[in-house]
Amino acid sequence: MKKVSLTLEDIFNIPTAVIWNPDSFKTIYNVSIDSRNIKKNTLFIAIKGERFDGHDFIDQAVQNGASAILINKGYLNLIKDYDLTIITVNDTAKTLGDIAKIWRNKLKAKIIGITGSAGKTTTKEILAALLSEKFKVNKTVGNNNNHIGVPLTIFSTNEKHDMLVVELGTNHFGEISYTASIAKPDFSLITNIGDSHLEFLGDRQGVLNEKSTLIKETIKNNGKVFINNDDHLIKTLGKEIKNKITYALHEKADYQCRIVSVDKMACPEVEIKSKKKSLKVKIPLSGEANVSNYLSAYSVASELGVGKEKILKATKKLKSFDKRLEIKNYKNYTLINDTYNANPDSMKSSLKILSDINNNKRKIAILGDMFELGKESKNKHQELANFINEMMIDEIYSIGTMMKLFDKKLSNKIKIHNHFSDRESLKNHLNKIQLNNSIILVKGSRGMKMEEFVKTIQSRKK
């Protein structure tokens, strides 16, 4: 099996590239932006970021065995007389994407692109798990879903992989168009369109316009698109697409799902039907949002030929993912760590799960501000209060400027609610309250660092 590699000819085809010491060039089998992660025949690309400048670590990369280095041309006069190939370009971050395009074109793996306002990481994880029962699968690791992360995910894929499940994120116009042009997906889906990143994308139509560029790139590559018919905006978009598969819980679709039952922890048993097959399965993940996430992943895996028995086997292995509705049971209480991020839709989904859990435990929500909502921030936080007033939740403790407005809108149906103006006061309170026979949800936007409150709770006697 021929290894995926970069040749000298490939390097000559990189826009703005000037090659120094081409006679020293060795075929490149790895690409890295981390000087600590250098293998044999690795190209080190020096990226200047917000906190670190990769050009400061060139010596370390060379010492660790880099066979070539790629730098911004303004740094050339600072480079030592290394006995290896040096490539200068106008912008190494842009060139990272250019090289990733070259690498992608050499892959035999089919690429599935996933984006959406909520659930894209969970969907990615579920799909990778289902596909792995039949194929050699690579996937986006962590939060590598931006203009740097997507190229790195492409570089981590090689000739051994049959499938790549890649996540594409955004908070500004043009970002998905850029990363999708690098990934060139064979298949794609948008999980949903919600009130995410409104500060930069304006409204849900703006969110759709940005997310739909993934679909456009897939169509451009003669690929197949998976459409969530339960989302009105996505369903409308899908009407214009010929090569598509639809899925839905509430609307008519190619893959039709219904919830058969729900257990005490809000984990559903579902039945999914299509023209040729049906599946009845217990999803070991809580909430209706995870039904949609699972359904989309099942639709893709099924279309790619993963059989019923393999899907059932993979589903049994599924568990909640790090900081994404991650449920842990301790001796006296249950903790739901959903601190990775938050927007109005994901916040409502998580609160509904807390409300729906039927185990006679005291239900506590610890909530932080939702960011990047722009001029809609005040309204969205107050709307959340109206939503939560109808939930079966006993106590709410909040922190953040916008959550102060939220707290004022809570009704008397919420037995206990308290807003905290500083982090230490909330931590002190969490160290004092009774946790016995309770289930606790912690959620807020990434910048609120809500995971610190999870640690406070976990540090108490379990």
Same domain (yes/no): 281, 347? no
| Residue 42, domain CATH | 3.40.1390.10
Evaluate whether residue 97 is within a structural domain. no
Distance in angstroms (rounded) separating the CA atoms of residues 230 and 310:
27
| Residue 331, domain CATH | 3.90.190.20
User: What are 306's two structure tokens?
Assistant: 């993963």
Total count of domains within the chain = 3
Q: What's the angle, vertex CA 181, arms to CA 178 and CA 183, rounded to 5?
A: 110
Same domain (yes/no): 59, 163? no
Same domain (yes/no): 78, 118? no
Same domain (yes/no): 352, 439? yes
Checking if the pLDDT of 462 tops 60, the result is: no
Same domain (yes/no): 202, 304? yes
- By CB atoms closer than 10 A (0-12, 13-18, 19+), residue 434 is exposed
* Mean pLDDT score of the chain: 95
Distance in angstroms (rounded) separating the CA atoms of residues 45 and 31:
7
Show which of 317, 341, 366 is a domain's final residue: 317
pLDDT bin (cut points 50, 70, 90) of residue 236 is very high
Same domain (yes/no): 171, 292? yes
Same domain (yes/no): 277, 397? no
Show which of 298, 317, 336 is a domain's final residue: 317
List Cα–Cα distances, 347 to 107, 219, 302, 432, in angstroms. 38, 32, 30, 26
Q: What is the pLDDT of residue 412?
A: 86
Distance in angstroms (rounded) separating the CA atoms of residues 301 and 270:
17
Checking if the pLDDT of 461 tops 70, the result is: no
For 86, residues 6+ apart whose C-beta sits below 8 A from its C-beta are 19, 20, 21, 68, 69, 70, 71, 76, 79
Same domain (yes/no): 151, 46? no
Same domain (yes/no): 262, 309? yes
The answer to whether the beta carbons of residues 73 and 18 sit under 8 Å apart is yes
Same domain (yes/no): 170, 310? yes
Question: How do residues 66-118 score in pLDDT, each as one tens digit?
Answer: 999 999 999 998 888 899 999 999 999 999 999 999 999 999 999 999 999 99
Evaluate whether residue 99 is within a structural domain. no
Evaluate whether residue 100 is within a structural domain. no
| Residue 218, domain CATH | 3.40.1190.10
Of the listed ranges 257-261, 288-292, 411-415, the one predicted with least confidence: 411-415
Evaluate whether residue 3 is within a structural domain. no
Q: What is the pLDDT of residue 157?
A: 98
Distance in angstroms (rounded) separating the CA atoms of residues 307 and 325:
28
Distance in angstroms (rounded) separating the CA atoms of residues 379 and 181:
36
- 3-state DSSP of 245-290: EEEECCCCCCEEEEEEEECCCCCEEEEEECCCCEEEEECCCCCHHH
54-78 burial, b at 16+ Cβ within 10 Å, e below that, comes to bbebbeebbebebbbbbbbeebeee
The residues pairing with 259 across neighbouring beta strands, listed in sequence order, are: 270
Question: How do residues 114-170 score in pLDDT, each as one tens digit?
Answer: 999 999 999 999 999 999 999 999 999 988 999 999 999 999 999 999 999 999 999
Q: Please report, as a single letter, which amino acid is at residue 189.
A: L
Q: Residue 87 belongs to what domain range?
A: 8-92
Same domain (yes/no): 149, 199? yes
Q: What is the pLDDT of residue 80?
A: 86
Same domain (yes/no): 124, 86? no
Distance in angstroms (rounded) separating the CA atoms of residues 197 and 206:
10
Evaluate whether residue 236 is within a structural domain. yes
Pairing of strands 85-89, 163-167: unpaired
Evaluate whether residue 301 is within a structural domain. yes
Percent of the chain with pLDDT over 70: 100
Question: How do residues 394-416 score in pLDDT, each as one tens digit?
Answer: 999 999 999 999 999 999 889 89
Question: How do residues 342-360 score in pLDDT, each as one tens digit?
Answer: 999 999 999 999 999 987 8
Q: Whole-model pTM? A: 0.94
